Amino acid sequence: MDTVFINGLRVTTTIGVFDWERQLPRPLLIDLELDTDFAAAIEGDDVNHAIDYAAVAKVITQIAETRQPKLLETLAEAIAEALFEQFPTHALRLTVHKPGAVPGTQSVGVKIQRQRKLR
């Protein structure tokens, strides 16, 4: 198993259950691991057979900026679904951090693990 990762991707979105949380956009931090196979990329030393980190970050950012759900869980699931649709990954682990949401903590958040559904 090979893994592509992104740590600490900062996105800004409106998220939260309470009205006061939704008054202003707030930063979230995203950590992601995508399981894939590097064999084709390594064999040809060809970036066209690799997962483009910038493209992954762009998808995550677009979803965070446009969906604006109430729950981190909902946002995480939307990101996972989009990544499976657009990239050759068979499993992923995604963490969404919400800094400053609870006094006395650095951040709170959710972690999900998903595998591509067989069709």
Instruction: Tell me which of 58, 70, 98, 111 is the catalytic residue.
Output: 98
117 is catalytic: no
What is the per-residue pLDDT for 21?
87
What is the per-residue pLDDT for 118?
73
Look up residue 50 and give its two tokens: 């690799």
Domains in the chain, CATH or no CATH each = 2-115 (3.30.1130.10)
CA distance 21 to 37: 40
Task: Give the model confidence (pLDDT) of 30-74 as tens digits.
Answer: 999 999 999 999 999 998 899 999 999 999 999 999 999 999 999
Is the whole-model pTM more than 0.85? Answer: yes
